Structure 1
Amino acid sequence: MKVLKFGGTSVASAKNIALVKDIVSQSDNLKNIVVVSAFGGITDLLLQAAHLASEQNEKYKSVLKDIEERHLNTIKQLIPVHGQSRILSKVKSDLNILETLLEGSYLIGEITTKLSDKIVSYGELLSSYIIFEFFKQEQMDVTYMDSRELIKTNDLNEKAVVNFEVTDALCKTFFESVQKSIVVAPGFISSSEMGNSTTLGRGGSDYTAAIFAAAMNADILEIWTDVSGMYTANPKLVKQAKALPHISYEEAMELSHFGAKVLYPPTIQPVLSKGISILIKNTFKPDDKGTLITQNKNGKGKTVRGISHVENIALLSLEGPGMVGIPGISKRFFEVLSQAGISVVLITQASSEHSICVGISAEDTDEAVNTVNAAFEYEIDRNRIKPVIAEGNLAIIALVGDNMKSHQGLSGKMFSTLGRNNVNIRAIAQGASERNVSAVIKKNDVKKALNALHEEFFEENIKQLNLFVMGVGNVGSKFLKQVQQQKKYLKENLKLNIRIIGISNSRTMVFDEDGIALKNWEGLLEKGEKADKNSFFDTVQKLNYRNSIFVDNTASDEVASTYDAYLGNSISVVTCNKIACSSNYENYQGLKNMAREYNAPFLFETNVGAGLPIIDTLKHLIASGDKVLKIQAVLSGSLNFVFNNFNDKIAFHDVVKQAQEEGYTEPDPKIDLSGIDVMRKILILARESGNRLEIDDIENKSFLPKESLETKSNEDFFASLKKYENDFQDLYTQANEADCKLKYVAQYEDGRASVGLQQIPKNHDFYNLQGSDNIVLFYTERYPNQPMIIKGAGAGAEVTASGIFADIIRIGNF
């Protein structure tokens, strides 16, 4: 014998019911019990109608009308016209009784649990009857049985307790005597021994099927639903979730208890002792393997089998000095909640006995607070115990697996993963079986937590990085192109999956939660919403993705001022913008401290030397115990390009213009030529060496005329360069006559720093520096005479973009 249960989505429409018929027809068992739920959404409509009626709101009639139309239309679609009359008459008769029940609730202005059970039972009664008649019309060997005649319970409505001794006897008598090969029965409903309708709780159709399966020692219990089994996580929240081919009863119970809605938690109990397997299948993809639930006989398998969660949780905390060493406090606490019908889903207690914290359904919060405070009124009045504290908007997230107990460090791995992603843990619980580790977190963090944990435990070490990019000019556009080109390589070789979630320029911004298609990012951005740095941050924060990285490709001080907000929310920052790190020392150090405190990397390698590993090398020197004695450097690729190309045959103005057009200078070339850019760079290197310096401490020996420095626009600046061409030619002539080259040099030594144009002789390391190359000489205690030299392309959009890309990869490898 096989028991097949079909859920609400499986029987939500005539089309779906036809699929159910095909599945049942293909069963090769001699006898099949088919348990069906109410049509999808009908139970909610019945509850809504009952609620409206109890409030004497006549809108219940329109809800009832919707219920009627759903059922009558389904009959008309399933049954040929010549066979409809009798079925429509029966269904309308049942709907008339339902109408009478609702009208009674309307007249008295209330609804009892007994009346509620009668009303909601019509969902399954109507669906099962219609499906039975459809099967019969299709020439199937089928009969019908009202489950209320077989499943007997106590009189506790809405969550009735089954009397298995009576129920099993009735089931055996009926199913052993029935001659038909298929029995259709409604799920969810039962009756008390007095004959009153009762229900088995939401999801009770699974339970009905399990009761039948256990009573008849069925070969297998099949649960047909709208997903292909139990998943490693909720596939609606975790796109990478995978169906589990095989799990144990205990794992299934833990996962279903913690929110895996594909299976109603009590379902497993009746079949567990009988060793009856449960197979979860997809009605809409019947060829999918599904999930088989059996005993775990060999003790083998993965450590973590699934990650599940329960939303709408509240924490209830009872604490106070009067609890310490006093027997019976816990008993009273739980007894009070039990008597109020409030279920406790998580328990944690301080070893000092100073506090007890439990997780309950959020909808029970007010009643729980009032009940517990009343029970402990005496202790509260005498300040021995504080009034109970309730905290809402929470959820429970749980790791589940039979073999977790035999592997060390899983809890630590779980908590560190959550911590890296700024998911605060409010409470922790672990069962004695070590099959489950649970943590209470903010409800808003559920999606991020599930994805982060799933990535850690199930995705073969593939780490997803979610990028939010501000600035898509020269550098930013090259960066996006590099990401597009390298995406496949990074995933296959470095196990990094990079997604661009948000892009902004100075005019518009665009977001896509599934990742922006980089082939068409320009068109998407053009149609985006109005750009706003605060709105951009708010969206990043609201999306709340794991491994989020803010990428700043601008030179904006306004954008740089937002770094603390990102870091304070555990969002990493990667930037080529030098403003933040060259601002006042307190701000620079504060950002670095925040990065450590919130475990959010703050990387700015491209602040000095574009794509050259200058800052990274310096960090390693300092971390390994070396000490910087002196730094000499040519740090401006743009200035090096200018003076390498400037001579007595080309105007200084023309060379600077060329440098701007080829992307070597900032959009405002005065930033480069004034020395401000180089001052910022040597300041950053001095600070990264462990020294406290401000920008005003750096001596700037500018070669630009005062008038050029005081210009307010690029047009005026370039005009001033033409005006003072003779002065620039004099600089070149003097260097040429001395057989030297002009280089703009930055230097730091003995706590002092300076920048300025220098004549470099032939025997110097800087003399042969070509194009836009940078060079840095680190004189340290380990390299006192022959410095460590880093040399290479130090300007240009491509190399700067590659430096930003390298910082992002560093974060991915953390």
Structure 2
Amino acid sequence: MTILKFGGTSMGNENTWRQVLQIITRYEHPFIIVSATSDTTRQLIKTAKLALADPEKAYEHASKIEQRHQKLITNFLANVTITHHSIRKKCQEWIKKQNQQLHKLIAQIDAEKEINPATMDAIASIGEQLSSYLFAQCGQALGLPTQWINAADVIRTNSDFGQATPDLTYITNNLSAIHQLSADTIPVMGGFYGQDNHGNITTLGFEGSDYSASLMGAALSADAIEIWTDVSGIYTCDPRVIDEAYPIPELSFQEATELAYFGAKVLHPSTTKPAALKDIPIKVKNIFDPDAPGTHISTKVTSNGTAKAMTFKEEALICTVNSSHTVMGYEFLANVFKTLQSLHLPVDVVTTTEASVSIAIPPCSQLETLVEQLQSAGRIDLQENQAIISIVGCNPQQSTLLIKETLDGIGEDIINMLSFSHAKRNLNVVLNSDRLLTAVKAIHRKIFT
């Protein structure tokens, strides 16, 4: 079995749906995971926020989402040789049902004068509920044995709405909805969402459909997981920024995770975890060039030149804590990281001594609280408007050359933090955000071209 995940671009319109269905016919036993149609999740989130500020506009947004999906189905089925009246009717009824649910949730937000996390997840998941059911019906219209699976019946999570943690053991042991399908059926399931133990819809984090694909791959012990997007693999850097960027043939699970975490948009950061547990390879492929090799991700660790790829985060800040007490270093650091943990703040880059620590973190709404709580540990200095460049897959035998070429690429710009890990094979640089893109282009020229 091969898990095939198709993202928002793949689900963009009736033409890309046909391309995807053509790709599916290449496989003997595919299991399909789809994202919402292009931009739908963002529009749903916007609709939820409008429900709080301007309910009438929220209803208008809901109508536009409904109309867009109705148009997609009409256009797709218009080109089918044999008219499938029953399929058209099922699709129209499903779209109407999801729109009614969205209206109900808008009214709930308006009545409660707040958007609670559970309601936001219920709204955000509607895109995948729409696309997965409709795509399965369209597959049937073309004669494929596609069958919709409701992700809420399969993906069980905790109740951390917006960033729910899946229970892989439960998922693996409770696949009755899938096992009931006949051997020649092609399952189609929406990614991104699941359900907690109380029957509430949950989501796995923005762009979480990749994660869903990896979860299903691990649960079903698939032969491979393929992430289909609009680029031919994972590139040496974002091709929208670097014209000379090119696809990387191979990455390890750790390297792919590092790239995703530090800003590469191709994969969700948690995608590799379930696949790595079962040693299931992941491939990143291009729907517009299906014969291109793409990027192969596995447990294999290889060296390719000085480094394999680079990525960047455009927004960060540095929080430096200088100890004002004569305490043991481990106690000082423990207090700092305990504070970060209590506020659920992720740490991107760290440099430390016994009496001070500098931490690069994403901008956050809890910054004032963080500073207040850290003041007991020492003097706090903040540097805002920072950015992070991360170079991944570094060749340990060429670390000196790598650091030299990175510094040469940055030139006279001031580096605010520098961190190299031989074990993780990565180099992180924190610098002023207004110098980010210039530095990225210069470093890429030095190392990858």
TM above 0.5, yes or no, is: yes
Q: CA deviation at 1:329?
A: 2.3
Q: Is residue 454 from structure 1 mapped to residue 444 from structure 2 by the alignment?
A: yes
Aligned residues of 1:323 and 1:329 also touching (Cα < 8 A): no
Query: For 1:339 and 1:138, how far apart are their aligned partners in 2?
Result: 53
- For the residue of structure 1 that corresponds to 2:382, the secondary structure is strand
1:56–1:338 Cα change, 3 Å: farther
Cα distance per residue 1:206-252 (max 9 Å; x no partner):
00000010111111100000111000111111100011112222221
- For the residue of structure 1 that corresponds to 2:44, the secondary structure is helix
The equivalent of 1:358 in structure 2 is 359
The equivalent of 1:64 in structure 2 is 62
Q: CA deviation at 1:55?
A: 2.8
Cα distance per residue 1:120-144 (max 9 Å; x no partner):
0101000111101100111101111
Q: Is residue 410 from structure 1 mapped to residue 377 from structure 2 by the alignment?
A: no
Write the mapping of 1:490-505 to structure 2, written as runs, cut at 5 A.
none
TM-score (norm 1): 0.53
Write the mapping of 1:91-130 to structure 2, written as runs, cut at 5 A.
91-130=95-134
Aligned residues of 1:36 and 1:127 also touching (Cα < 8 A): yes
The equivalent of 2:22 in structure 1 is 22
- For the residue of structure 1 that corresponds to 2:428, the secondary structure is strand
Query: For 1:323 and 1:111, how far apart are their aligned partners in 2?
Result: 46
Query: For 1:85 and 1:65, how far apart are their aligned partners in 2?
Result: 18
Q: 2:318 aligns with which of 301, 315, 318?
A: 315
Cα distance per residue 1:153-209 (max 9 Å; x no partner):
1111111111111111123x4434421431000000011122111111012100000
Q: What residue identity is the alignment partner of 2:119?
A: L
Q: 1:336 aligns with which of 332, 335, 339?
A: 339
In structure 1, the gaps of 5 or more residues are 380-384, 460-814
Q: What residue identity is the alignment partner of 2:335?
A: R
Aligned residues of 2:406 and 2:443 also touching (Cα < 8 A): no
Write the mapping of 1:749-768 to structure 2, written as runs, cut at 5 A.
none
The equivalent of 1:389 in structure 2 is 381
What fraction of aligned residue pairs are identical, expressed as a percent?
A: 29
1:304–1:323 Cα change, 3 Å: farther
Cα distance per residue 1:490-546 (max 9 Å; x no partner):
xxxxxxxxxxxxxxxxxxxxxxxxxxxxxxxxxxxxxxxxxxxxxxxxxxxxxxxxx
The equivalent of 2:50 in structure 1 is 52
Query: For 2:196 and 2:339, how far apart are their aligned partners in 1?
Result: 27
Q: CA deviation at 1:279?
A: 0.8
The equivalent of 2:76 in structure 1 is 78
Aligned residues of 2:228 and 2:285 also touching (Cα < 8 A): yes
1:62–1:275 Cα change, 3 Å: same
Aligned residues of 2:387 and 2:431 also touching (Cα < 8 A): yes
Q: CA deviation at 1:253?
A: 1.4
The equivalent of 1:135 in structure 2 is 139
Write the mapping of 1:497-516 to structure 2, written as runs, cut at 5 A.
none
Q: What residue identity is the alignment partner of 1:189?
A: Y
Aligned residues between the structures? 442
Q: What residue identity is the alignment partner of 1:75?
A: I
Higher relative contact order (CA 8 A, sep 6+): 2
Cα distance per residue 1:280-335 (max 9 Å; x no partner):
001112122211112226x4433300011112112122224326635422222222
The equivalent of 2:174 in structure 1 is 170
1:373–1:446 Cα change, 3 Å: closer
Query: For 2:410 and 2:275, how far apart are their aligned partners in 1?
Result: 39
1:45–1:105 Cα change, 3 Å: same
Q: What residue identity is the alignment partner of 1:304?
A: A
Query: For 1:117 and 1:132, how far apart are their aligned partners in 2?
Result: 23
Q: CA deviation at 1:431?
A: 2.9
Query: For 1:434 and 1:249, how far apart are their aligned partners in 2?
Result: 11
Write the mapping of 1:530-679 to structure 2, written as runs, cut at 5 A.
none
Aligned residues of 1:55 and 1:110 also touching (Cα < 8 A): no
Query: For 2:97 and 2:410, how far apart are their aligned partners in 1?
Result: 59
Cα distance per residue 1:562-583 (max 9 Å; x no partner):
xxxxxxxxxxxxxxxxxxxxxx
- For the residue of structure 2 that corresponds to 1:315, the secondary structure is strand
The equivalent of 2:366 in structure 1 is 367
Q: Is residue 248 from structure 1 mapped to residue 252 from structure 2 by the alignment?
A: yes
In structure 2, the gaps of 5 or more residues are none
Q: CA deviation at 1:116?
A: 0.5
- For the residue of structure 2 that corresponds to 1:160, the secondary structure is coil
Query: For 2:105 and 2:269, how far apart are their aligned partners in 1?
Result: 31
Aligned residues of 1:256 and 1:265 also touching (Cα < 8 A): yes
Q: What residue identity is the alignment partner of 1:256?
A: A
Cα distance per residue 1:397-426 (max 9 Å; x no partner):
01111x522224134324422342x33211
Query: For 1:444 and 1:300, how far apart are their aligned partners in 2?
Result: 32
Q: 2:164 aligns with which of 140, 143, 160?
A: 160
1:429–1:57 Cα change, 3 Å: farther
Q: Is residue 211 from structure 1 mapped to residue 211 from structure 2 by the alignment?
A: no
Q: Which moved more, 1:137-146 or 1:286-295?
A: 286-295
Aligned residues of 1:418 and 1:424 also touching (Cα < 8 A): no
Cα distance per residue 1:611-665 (max 9 Å; x no partner):
xxxxxxxxxxxxxxxxxxxxxxxxxxxxxxxxxxxxxxxxxxxxxxxxxxxxxxx
Q: What residue identity is the alignment partner of 2:389?
A: I
1:90–1:435 Cα change, 3 Å: same
Q: Is residue 423 from structure 1 mapped to residue 413 from structure 2 by the alignment?
A: yes
Cα distance per residue 1:446-470 (max 9 Å; x no partner):
22222111111121xxxxxxxxxxx
The equivalent of 1:12 in structure 2 is 12
The equivalent of 2:266 in structure 1 is 262
Query: For 1:323 and 1:418, how far apart are their aligned partners in 2?
Result: 40
Query: For 1:376 and 1:230, how far apart are their aligned partners in 2?
Result: 39
Aligned residues of 2:396 and 2:422 also touching (Cα < 8 A): no
1:291–1:376 Cα change, 3 Å: closer
Aligned residues of 1:405 and 1:434 also touching (Cα < 8 A): no
TM-score (norm 2): 0.94
- For the residue of structure 2 that corresponds to 1:10, the secondary structure is coil
Query: For 2:416 and 2:429, how far apart are their aligned partners in 1?
Result: 7
Aligned residues of 2:237 and 2:311 also touching (Cα < 8 A): yes
Query: For 2:414 and 2:55, how far apart are their aligned partners in 1?
Result: 43
Query: For 2:285 and 2:163, how far apart are their aligned partners in 1?
Result: 26
- For the residue of structure 2 that corresponds to 1:54, the secondary structure is helix
Query: For 2:19 and 2:300, how far apart are their aligned partners in 1?
Result: 33
Flag the structure with larger Rg.
1
